[in-house]
Chain A
């Protein structure tokens, strides 16, 4: 990392001597067209020999389905299908394995779907309840109907993923115990893995002041924190909300409600004040002393 004013490191790569490859005369980093062709032929032969099916995962979300212009370009998340070609060495299995995504792909697709509900909810809430023009109202209606279609498609996709997962799990080997972290670890600072050598070049990050550097670190930390908070919130909701189901009167339930409210709604930061609201009896004094009420809470 550098103070400001420095450019990318690209030309530095050019300064290093090219590694000598003994067998070829032209110093290209990429194989020659002839070799590519050869490789292509061999790949095809390989496929034939393995009786491979190239399966392309087509999602049902290819058609947009809605004419609402506002969100058409933006709701790309559900359409981000991994159209990956699978080279699965498969014997002549009558079961339709060819079209099933691999567990890694299922996980990837699911990750893509995770944020969709919150985006869609934002769009729904962005639609104003009232429109000054009839045209606006009409378009708004179309937009909402389009969002409805998207939700439906997402549910369909989710169902597909579920079925795919089930069918994959039928072949799942025993993995009792620790399989470590399951999804492949993200390569730091490189984002997507790709098969060209560009991935090996590390981009240069320049900063111009200490404050910028601090902000970078602080923001990264904040992102991690938020990810964690989201995950925790989901788990806590699953655990705590059932507790709030109506049931016979509990002792000290006010305290419990307060605690649950704090955890779920205030992030554990703020505690609401509970005030005992008791009717005075005919003698004109509260049935219990203030100190006692406090203790109850």
Chain B
């Protein structure tokens, strides 16, 4: 009660119950807490703990597409919630330390719940998942369904540490048969769906849609079902309205949570020593505490193997290509060197300049002509002025390959070498003395 006196005065008074109420109503029907639960949790009342564990359990199960029943044991609930929060990256160790019988920790759970709201966009996700379907729906999602990491198959066949290939073949055949049956059923489904759409076209009130969906058609045959559908739709509408209300009032909720945090921070200072040992709870060798982790580790191993194999392949290929390239270049460098020497001996003046246009460059690259990086190694440095020695020679033309007219210094054909230096394309030609 002391804390309430320290809190901000009245302005938040009426808004907070509205915010909490809206939040609760925006949650799905089977996972709707009473606003009181949140209020009790704020004061860390143990009575609220069980309810809160259950709330988080149901919500997280929905997010993960899992199934749950009313009678799931509290121990399982606690375990699942702890795991799911860890999975999503919730970092507070105090949560993991809560008792497994769900008897305490409602304030921690409130904090976790708020974290989920914010980080996972919990409400939006749940609203999207739980839509009432009145129309015919299909998905274009091509995500890979997580193959359950069940080890039963391996267990059976590997019981005697042998692989029974015939069993594998038989299973494979069965699988194919199932796929074919599924395909046939899907096609049948399509046919009937199309039939309904065709026969009811023009009947729908909404001109854009034009025809009935399966649900709507079914309603014409069994009108008494409309009550059920109507209830579902009304429930969804209320949820959506509550969601909008929540969006308006959200800041009040976060303000409230801040006070919760202040309290916890104060109290937390006293218990800091407990945290130190939590980090070391698991030894590095116990990596496989979890089927999920096993699966991930397996994927990583496979990926690593593939990448290493690829790396080896590439190493060989690149080494091969580099050697071949080096050889070719060596031959060409010799040719250039010889040609230049010839010109010099004939008394020609060697000129170099930038190419007229980049199009000119492309025409240079014919088999007869050269791509050279290492000309300078052949002792042709006297070609270039001292400050230009860093530039590479990339093109070389005989004197008559130029289009005509004086080459001008346009179009600096700069390219980037792989070591980051910039090189330029040059033309060299000889001017007879």
Contacts and interface: CB of A to CB of B under 8 A. Distances in A.
B360 interface: no
A42 B366 CA distance: 66
Interface in A41-69: 42-43, 45-46, 49-50, 66-67
A201 to B, nearest CB: 10
Contacts of B310: 117, 120-121, 124, 151
B102 to A, nearest CB: 14
B82 interface: yes
Contact of B89 (A103, A155, A182): A103
A72 interface: no
A199 interface: yes
A48 to B, nearest CB: 10
Contacts of A19: 237, 240-241, 244
A6 B387 CA distance: 69
Nearest to A151: B311
A286 to B, nearest CB: 28
Interface residues of B, number: 136
Contact of A3 (B80, B90, B197): B197
Given A177-B79, A189-B140, A205-B138, 6 more contacts: A3-B201, A93-B275, A161-B300, A190-B128, A194-B121, A220-B142
A60 to B, nearest CB: 14
Q: Which 5 A-B pairs have the closest CB atoms?
A: A102-B89, A185-B65, A180-B66, A189-B139, A117-B306
Contact of B292 (A93, A175, A189): A175
Interface of B: 61, 63-67, 76, 79-80, 82-84, 86-93, 96, 111, 115, 118-119, 121, 124-125, 127-129, 131, 135-148, 154, 163, 165-166, 168-169, 172-173, 176, 179, 182-183, 186-187, 189-191, 193-194, 197-198, 201, 206, 208-211, 237, 240-241, 244-245, 247-251, 254-255, 257-258, 261-262, 265, 268, 272, 275, 278-282, 284, 286-287, 289-293, 295-297, 299-300, 302-304, 306-308, 310-311, 313-315, 317-318, 321-322, 325, 328, 332, 365-367, 370-371, 416, 418
Contact of A175 (B144, B193, B290): B290
A67 B414 CA distance: 13
Contacts of B169: 259, 262-263, 268
A23 B93 CA distance: 39
Contacts of B173: 268
A142 to B, nearest CB: 6
Interface string A123-138: 0100000001111011
Given A12-B208, A268-B169, A87 B144 contact: no
Interface of A: 1-3, 6-7, 9, 11-12, 19-24, 29, 31, 35, 38-39, 42-43, 45-46, 49-50, 66-67, 86-93, 95, 97, 101-107, 110, 113-114, 116-117, 120-121, 124, 132-135, 137-138, 140-142, 144-145, 147-148, 151-152, 154-155, 158, 161-162, 165-166, 168-177, 179-191, 193-195, 197, 199-200, 202, 204-205, 210, 213-214, 216-218, 220-221, 223-225, 227-228, 231, 234, 236, 238-240, 243, 256, 259-260, 262-263, 268
